[in-house]
Structure 1
Amino acid sequence: MEFIIAQKEHIDRMCEITEDAKKQLHGLGLDQWQKGYPSREVWEQDVINACTYLAMEDGVIQGIFAFQTTPDPSYKEIDGQWLTDIPYASMHRVCVADGCKGKGVAGRMFAYGFELARKAGFETVRIDTHPGNLPMQHALKKAGFEPCGTIRLVGGCEDGDLRVAFERILTD
């Protein structure tokens, strides 16, 4: 598997994968990603910012994630406690294409995100997910993330929505 930075020509497929993920979340009875996020406009801005990575196999997109190196406003306040109080990288909008789930794609994306964080000088990575998104919580724990408490999203169409916050301290 190789990782590339998403380009404009990938946006249509990224939107298809996102729509499939939204349907799956809806099928689980979750309101996560049901209010218009992530949208085509979000992916277009990510392409401009060169912050979204694609997990590729034989030219086919198997997964998507955004990588952020600036503080996330949603992580400023937590009901609980982060593992660290040092600068962190974060991963967002993690989704795996239908037909690729259960094949370790998410784990490889997390591992690549950890590599990006180390290269950028970070010792920790944060992420969040819906309290009811048990498949993602399982994947996060499998990747070494530890639950730290709950946060409320700040800004956008999901403003105020509750999420479980996770952190992974990177070790060599």
Structure 2
Amino acid sequence: MRIVPAQPQDVSKLLAFREEAAAWLSRLGTDQWQRPYPADKLLKTVEAGTVFMVRDGDATAGTITLTPEAEAGLWTDEELTEPSLFINKLTVARTHAGQNLGGRLLDWAGDRAYRAGAKWLRLDAWTTNASLQEYYIRQEFEYVRTVVEGGAVNGGPRVSGWLAQRPARPTKHGFVDETAAPGSLA
């Protein structure tokens, strides 16, 4: 399997991928990702070079967004002084579920963060999705805290405020990495 940067022409595929994940999550009883994601917002992240896709032949097997910018209001000013990369929108195709592809993507992200000079690989997860939180703990992330206030709509409750981190470190993820070397965070 290869990991490649997403391209603007991939936006419709990425949106369909997210819809597939939202339907699966709904069947599991969570409301995560039930609101459609804005295509223009996704296009901006693709154009910024922070969205990556796993290709298995012609199939898209997974995707991850990895950015040096944290979502506002989640991490403290002190935490933000520590060089970090932040994971968003990790998704695995149902056709590739059960193959530890998500774990390998997390390892790839941690390796990329390490090569960029980051101390931490950080994420925020859906506040009410205990299964997802347990998954990240099994992937060696350490729970930091849950931020429940300051959501995007009228400063209301935050839906994705469960915070976790693990040290950035070199790993053997098993992908053929066809991405450019990460920029330095220093």
State the match for 1:160 in structure 2.
157
What is the match of residue 94 of structure 2? 98
Tell me how far apart the structure 2 counterparts of residues 8 and 119 of structure 1 sit (CA, whole Å).
26
Q: What TM-score do the two structures reach when normalised by structure 1?
A: 0.83
Residues 156, 16 of structure 1: alpha-carbon distance in 2 compared, 3 angstrom cutoff: farther
**Alignment partners' CA distance in 1, 2:66 and 2:155:** 19
- Are the equivalent residues in 1 in contact too, given 2:114–2:169 (CA < 8 A)? no
**2:58 matches 1:59:** yes
Paired with 1:85 and 1:105, the residues of 2 have a C-alpha distance of 31
| Counterpart for residue 147 of structure 1 | 143
For structure 1, the residue ranges without an aligned partner over 5 or more in a row are: none
Give the letter aligned to residue 5 of structure 2.
I
Identity of aligned residues (%): 19
Deviates more, 1:67-76 or 1:115-124: 67-76
Aligned alpha-carbon RMSD (Å): 2.7
2:29 aligned with 1:29: yes
Instruction: Give 5+ residue unaligned stretches, structure 2.
Output: 171-186
Q: TM-score normalized by structure 2?
A: 0.78
Q: In structure 2, how many angstroms separate the alpha carbons of the residues matched to 1:147 and 1:85? A: 19
Matches within 5 A, 1:64-83: 64-77=63-76
Q: Deviations over 1:27-86 (max 9, x none)?
A: 2332221233x3322321111111101111113111111111123313235xxxx98962
Length, aligned pairs only? 168
Partner of 1:54: helix, strand, or coil? strand
SS, match of residue 102 in structure 2? helix
- Distance verdict in 2 for CA 1:156–1:113, change over 3 Å: farther
Paired amino acid for 1:21: A
Task: Report how far residue 21 of structure 1 moved.
Answer: 1.0
- Larger Rg belongs to: 2
Flag the 1:50–1:35 CA change in 2: closer, same or farther, 3 A.
same
